[in-house]
Amino acid sequence: MAFRTDIEIAREAVKKPIQEIGAKLGISSDDLVPYGHDKAKVSAEFIAQARSKTDGKLILVTAINPTPAGEGKTTTTVGLGDGLNRIGKKAMICIREASLGPCFGMKGGAAGGGMAQVVPMEDINLHFTGDFHAITSAHNLLSAMIDNHIYWGNELRIDQRRVVWRRVMDMNDRALRDIVTSLGGVANGFPRQAGFDITVASEVMAILCLASDLDDLQKRLGDIIVAYRRDRSPVYARDIKADGAMTVLLKDAMQPNLVQTLEHNPAFVHGGPFANIAHGCNSVVATTTALKLADYVVTEAGFGADLGAEKFMNIKCRKAGIAPSVVVLVATVRAMKMNGGVAKADLGAENVEAVNKGCANLGRHIENLKGFGVPVVVAINHFVTDTDAEIEAVKAYVRGQGAEAILSRHWELGGKGAEDLAKRVAEVADSGVASFSPIYPDDMGLLDKIKTIASRIYRADEVLADKSVRDQLKQWEEAGYGHLPICMAKTQYSFSTDPNRRGAPNGHSVPVREVRLSAGAGFVVVICGEIMTMPGLPRVPSSEAIMLNDQGQIDGLF
Amino acid sequence: MAFRTDIEIAREAVKKPIQEIGAKLGISSDDLVPYGHDKAKVSAEFIAQARSKTDGKLILVTAINPTPAGEGKTTTTVGLGDGLNRIGKKAMICIREASLGPCFGMKGGAAGGGMAQVVPMEDINLHFTGDFHAITSAHNLLSAMIDNHIYWGNELRIDQRRVVWRRVMDMNDRALRDIVTSLGGVANGFPRQAGFDITVASEVMAILCLASDLDDLQKRLGDIIVAYRRDRSPVYARDIKADGAMTVLLKDAMQPNLVQTLEHNPAFVHGGPFANIAHGCNSVVATTTALKLADYVVTEAGFGADLGAEKFMNIKCRKAGIAPSVVVLVATVRAMKMNGGVAKADLGAENVEAVNKGCANLGRHIENLKGFGVPVVVAINHFVTDTDAEIEAVKAYVRGQGAEAILSRHWELGGKGAEDLAKRVAEVADSGVASFSPIYPDDMGLLDKIKTIASRIYRADEVLADKSVRDQLKQWEEAGYGHLPICMAKTQYSFSTDPNRRGAPNGHSVPVREVRLSAGAGFVVVICGEIMTMPGLPRVPSSEAIMLNDQGQIDGLF
């Protein structure tokens, strides 16, 4: 078989009507709200009725710290789901939606790869069912209502220098990062410094992904802090009276989107918060609904396990009252080699020594994940250049850590290539050995929560937080926000805050640059290092090559 | 029957599955791309195949100059469509999509009213099928690519002071009218003055509504002038290499949206360009496709006939190669009274004298419309306070103008109330008396085209255009744009450029403030007076009252 690109494979896929996919989960066509013939939202009524069912097993797919070699976390999530179905299990997949903006920059798709993809991949990577557009609209309605409130007399006495609610756009547009608005005279309002973030960085996105239903959604939207007064008292979205209309705009976006894998297995693709300033997981509604409909639910978390899995456990599972039965930690031989010091250009040559050296990163993640009381299975996502000796080196290392590593060839072979992985994952999930708990309790102080993550996950010696940061945390505790979990925003490339420190660094410090309160989402964001919330386009953006070909198909998307 | 609001009527509507509505037009369910159970797009393949069929009759609904009393143009369009179906004709409706932003300000819905509505009205007025979001994305991708091009070295030598392509958002947000972008240092680009318009004002919207197919769409997108160099030579979207990706983003948005009236008759709701800086009609694709599927197609144009119908004839019909068989001119007794000098508070009292006086506005429109070679039927959109004497006064006046006025009660009674109107309109359409032609030829000079509209439609004595405007028009003629039609942007409240001059003013001047070239849409915009392309929210925006009620229904939308 000649090499085919992801989009070629996706195009050739013979999809089943989405009603057939829904039927596998017991969803009647009346309870599916179709978007074309191959996508559908699940009705709120159906979801409410499903609440009484018992939960299936939750399987989290996470990864080592990402390297330029790529780990294939989404691909493994999809492949494992297909593998579980192949071995006769009733399984479904829950992943995040793709952001539109980065597609026009240089990012690859977010629908898996090779023979382990969800389809229709073009739609999933473009407008899909409009969820992100709805989030953009809801966010910017609040922004417009804030400036409108100030314009008409500012009854709430908002300090115009302390409006913290920015605007969003689902586009990589660096020109909008830092702007001055309301120029041009009296009719346009009071000039002030403002800016845009990319839509996935919106607190509305995080809220949509954590809300349990529309009532909870509206309450959380109302809780958003949009500005402060001169006396530093907060002004909420509720005070602006925007929460109702925002909820109306998000009504459909709250419903999970059902699609299918290349092997016609069901997948929810829903929500997609940033994995730095937010928690980086698909929606709670999708995951908890999937648990009612399938015996095994495979889901993923953003970035490496130090960020994504930590937040999945400490934020999403805590808030949603769910617990993983097993964690699948994705690694590749190539990534082990890069962690072991090999340059990307030299990854083609066998280098068992480098693999052994790089495994330290993998080992640290295994240890960390066990700290949540959850068993770990390592999935070696196979790449054509991997040698038997290299694969054996990873397996031996993982055995030494008291876990098991299984080679998986889903990228090449689809579910068939993931059967071994699926069997073992199902066994571990069914064994009942998991005894999940977050690594810090709700009632721990905010600074102590940060220190707990830094010491237990990052293995840092210390957290550096100056007085203003500590005072701010204390102030929030006094204002009743002390029970919130922490959302760490640091580089995804290292356990430390230095992206160049690969492997399993020790003895480092975690400097806290800034803390932000996401009162609606319900977490405190702790920023360690530069965090970009509005990307830019590269010198030659991929949008220059994206176009319809003579057959009306989309070329250049990936 | 107790009084019910539009939204209450719409909510209680028992809708048929959209596949049943499609079947009435011969569209199989495979050729319908569903968006929920009550909305669908028509596939491009079906539209291409339908091209060989013969055209039905085109009926344009337009109105007198709008007054605060309201005329009910969309309501009449829907009611007439239902009326035609009731008398046994195969008729369908083509109207514009609603803009999201104004819904949160104070604008009413755009889906008709009373018993003459298209449904689902909440969806139509909110995200609908995502067309406007797609337009926003395509527009802003081009914006981002322009600034990105400058950032990475500006190979095209764009004069940063002469970037004419702004950004758009589907929101009433006055703070974004006039902004400075790219602040914050080197990494954010070169600071420059910029701004946002509302999405319906985007040239991309006008292009989508005038393009005949995806190839034509991409060509027109490439033709957009985004900036000028220091030597004043234009830089096109094609030079930025954005046209391909923009077309991909607009692929689905190009397909007309099928919905139903309260009486289950088919309606295309597609596109919605501004009626001032653009041509204010639904899409050419929707209208031309409808003409292949139905024997009678009822469509509308924005604002009063001096703006909307003039552009429908001179821009849309000319470009699409279509011609109306009859024009329905909507008037109300209340609007006649306001034109006759009665204040809004006094409209409840009978005042035949004021009606007679106000009819001058109506008469002028009848005369103008006949100038296009098209017969006119006046529809008196009935209101409960209208007296027989007042109605008879309008009828008598219209008879005196060589036309006929018919009372229509579709708001109260739906299609049944519009049967008389439908019968007469069908008769006139079938009579073959129409002999349509635009009022100026392609090869007339641009300034002469403006003068032709000013004298023949506005009845102005003169067009005031200073040397810079005249030089600009001449320059465009030399650059090959002389064949384009004119898109007038002036107040909708008067034939003149002074909104306070109601009735049928004479002897006035038309001052041209500015001219703009919409090279992609294919018209020259002539701006006479203040034109607002980004509205603001009122002191108490309707968004404060929009929310989900206990039954999960949307309250406060209208």
Q: Write the CATH number for B523.
A: 3.10.410.10
**What's the pLDDT tens digit per position in B3-33?**
788 888 888 889 999 999 999 999 999 999 9
Answer yes or no: is pLDDT of A202 > 60: yes
Structural domain contains residue B110: yes
From chain B, the residues in CB contact with A182 under 8 A are 174-175, 178-179
Q: A401, A431, A461 — which closes off a domain?
A: A431
Other beta carbons less than 10 A from residue B458's beta carbon: 26
Q: How far is CA A330 from CA A173, A309, B243, in A?
A: 32, 12, 39
Q: How many CB pairs under 8 A join A and B?
A: 219
Task: Determine the pLDDT at residue B1.
Answer: 45
How far apart are alpha carbons A367 and B38 in whole angstroms? 52
Residues B116 and B75 in one domain: yes
Q: Give residue A476's region: left, alpha or beta (phi > 0; psi -120 to 50).
A: alpha
Q: According to DSSP H, which parts of A239-347 are helical?
A: 243-250, 284-293, 310-311, 318-320, 333-339
Interchain proximity A173–B127, CB inside 8 Å: no
How far apart are alpha carbons B221 and B231 in whole angstroms? 23
**What's the pLDDT tens digit per position in B360-371?**
999 999 999 999
- In this structure, the strands spanning A523-527 and A514-518 are antiparallel
Q: B195, B217, B250 — which closes off a domain?
A: B250
Tell me if B307 sits within 8 A of B275, measured CB to CB. yes
**What's the pLDDT tens digit per position in A119-153?**
999 999 999 999 999 999 999 999 999 999 999 99
Tell me if B412 sits within 8 A of B382, measured CB to CB. yes
Q: Average model confidence (pLDDT) for chain A?
A: 95
Average pLDDT over residues A190-207: 97
Facing B543 at nearest CB: one of A141, A173, A174: A141
Structural domain contains residue A155: yes
Two tokens, residue B460: 């102005």
Task: Determine the pLDDT at residue B492.
Answer: 92
Task: Determine the pLDDT at residue A108.
Answer: 65
Answer yes or no: is pLDDT of A438 > 90: yes
From chain A, the residues in CB contact with B241 under 8 A are 543-544
Q: In this structure, which amino acid lies at residue A160?
A: Q
How far apart are alpha carbons B160 and B151 in whole angstroms? 11
Q: How far is CA A309 from CA A15, A27, A128, A313, B307, in A?
A: 32, 30, 26, 6, 59
CA distance B207 to chain A (A): 18
**Is this prediction's ipTM beyond 0.90?**
yes
Q: Write out the catalytic residue numbers of A.
A: 73, 75, 96, 107, 275, 303, 383, 411
Task: Determine the pLDDT at residue A486.
Answer: 98
Average pLDDT over residues B491-500: 92
Interchain proximity B148–A541, CB inside 8 Å: yes
Total number of domains in chain B = 3
Tell me if A385 sits within 8 A of A367, measured CB to CB. no
Q: How far out from the chain centre does Cα B105 lie? A: 19
Average pLDDT over residues B350-356: 95
Q: Output phi, psi for B505, to 5 deg.
A: -65, 155
How far apart are alpha carbons A247 and B126 in whole angstroms? 12
Q: A interface mutation test: which of B149, B547, B555, B558 has the most A CBs within 10 A?
A: B547
Residues A271 and A406 in one domain: yes
B383 assigned to active site: yes
Structural domain contains residue A541: no
Q: B interface mutation test: which of A171, A193, A216 has the most B CBs within 10 A?
A: A171
Identify the weakest region by mean pLDDT among A210-219, A491-500, B99-108.
B99-108
Buried b / exposed e along A413-441 (16+ C-beta atoms within 10 A): bbbebbbebbbbbbebbeeeebebebbbe
Residues A61 and A178 in one domain: no
**What's the pLDDT tens digit per position in B143-187?**
999 999 999 999 999 999 999 999 999 999 999 999 999 999 999
Two tokens, residue B43: 């596939």
Structural domain contains residue B517: yes
Does a cis peptide bond (omega within 30 degrees of 0) precede residue A68?
A: no
- Residue B253, classified by CB atoms within 10 Å of its CB into exposed (0-12), middle (13-18) or buried (19+), is buried
Average pLDDT over residues A277-296: 97
CA distance A181 to chain B (A): 5
Structural domain contains residue B351: yes
Structural domain contains residue A203: yes
Average pLDDT over residues A472-476: 97
Helices A131-151 and B131-151: angle between axes, nearest 10 degrees: 80
Residues A506 and A357 in one domain: no
Residue A526: closest CA among A539, A510, A540 = A510
Answer yes or no: is pLDDT of B2 > 60: no
How far apart are alpha carbons A265 and A87 in whole angstroms? 13
CATH number of residue B216's parent domain = 3.30.1510.10
Residues A226 and A266 in one domain: no
How far apart are alpha carbons A55 and B33 in whole angstroms? 34
Residues A414 and A507 in one domain: no
Answer yes or no: is pLDDT of A44 > 50: yes
| Domain assignment of residue A340, given as a range | 7-129+253-431
Two tokens, residue A117: 């993809």
Facing B247 at nearest CB: one of A144, A241, A547: A547
Residues B230 and B259 in one domain: no
Answer yes or no: is pLDDT of A1 > 50: no
Average pLDDT over residues B402-418: 97
Task: Determine the pLDDT at residue B108.
Answer: 65
CA distance B163 to chain A (A): 13
Q: Average model confidence (pLDDT) for chain B?
A: 95
Answer yes or no: is pLDDT of A430 > 50: yes
Structural domain contains residue A275: yes
Give percent of chain B with pLDDT exceeding 90. Answer: 89
Task: Determine the pLDDT at residue B557.
Answer: 83
Q: CA A395, A397, A400 angle in degrees (round to 5)?
A: 110
Q: How many CA atoms lie within 13 A of B84 on its CB side?
A: 29
Work out the pLDDT band at A3, boundaries 50, 70, 90: confident
Work out the pLDDT band at A537, boundaries 50, 70, 90: very high
How far apart are alpha carbons A294 and A56 in whole angstroms? 6
From chain A, the residues in CB contact with B135 under 8 A are none
From chain B, the residues in CB contact with A179 under 8 A are 179-183
Q: According to DSSP H, which parts of B152-267 are helical?
A: 203-210, 214-223, 243-250
Answer yes or no: is pLDDT of A26 > 90: yes
Residues B406 and B423 in one domain: yes
B70 labeled part of a ligand binding site? yes
B5 assigned to active site: no
Answer yes or no: is pLDDT of B91 > 90: yes
CATH number of residue B417's parent domain = 3.40.50.300
Average pLDDT over residues A300-304: 93
Interchain proximity B179–A180, CB inside 8 Å: yes
How far apart are alpha carbons B537 and B542 in whole angstroms? 9
> Any idea what DSSP says for residue B394?
H
Structural domain contains residue A441: no
Residues A418 and A315 in one domain: yes
Average pLDDT over residues B232-254: 98
Give percent of chain A with pLDDT exceeding 70. Answer: 99
Q: A397, A431, A465 — which closes off a domain?
A: A431
Residues A296 and A417 in one domain: yes
Residues B189 and B285 in one domain: no
Helices A352-370 and A388-400: angle between axes, nearest 10 degrees: 30
Residues A70 and A92 in one domain: yes
Q: Could you tell me which residues come within 8 angstroms of residue B100 by beta carbon, excluding any fewer than 6 positions away?
A: A137, B125, B126, B127, B132, B170, B171, B199
